[in-house]
Structure 1
C-alpha cells in the first residue's frame, strides 16, 4: 500500500526534531452543498530542525517514531 502524502503549513517548531503541520481539506457539505474547510494537525519528524513556522511542507506517512509522530517532512513547497 502506498504511503500517503499530505501538504500543509507548519504551525509550531518548538519541539526538538518535530514540527506540527496543519493540513486543511475542503469538501462539499452533504446537505447544504456549501464548501466547508476542516483542518487537522499532525506531528511530523524534522531531523535537522530546518523548517520554521509558516513554511509550506509535504509530509509522508511512516512507521511510528514516538507516541504521536507517524509522519516525516519530505520537502518544502514553494
Structure 2
C-alpha cells in the first residue's frame, strides 16, 4: 500500500535529475575511550539510495590517541 501512496503523491510532478560529485581528501575523526574505529566508510544517502566509499583504515595520532586522520589517495587522471 505504501508504494501506491508514493505514486499518488507524485502525480503532476516532474523527476528531478542532478549529478553530485564529491572528492575525498582527508577526514579527521575524534573518538572517545569507548569507541575507536578500525575502518571508516563515508556513506551518502538520499531517500532509498545509498552510495558508500571503500573502507579505509584509521590511524590514531601520536599526540592525541583519540584523534586520527583518514587520507584518501589522489586518483591519477
TM-score normalized by the length of structure 1: 0.29
Q: Which protein is richer in strand relative to its size? A: 1
Higher Cα Rg: structure 1 or 2?
Answer: 2
Q: Which protein is richer in helix relative to its size? A: 2
TM-score normalized by the length of structure 2: 0.29
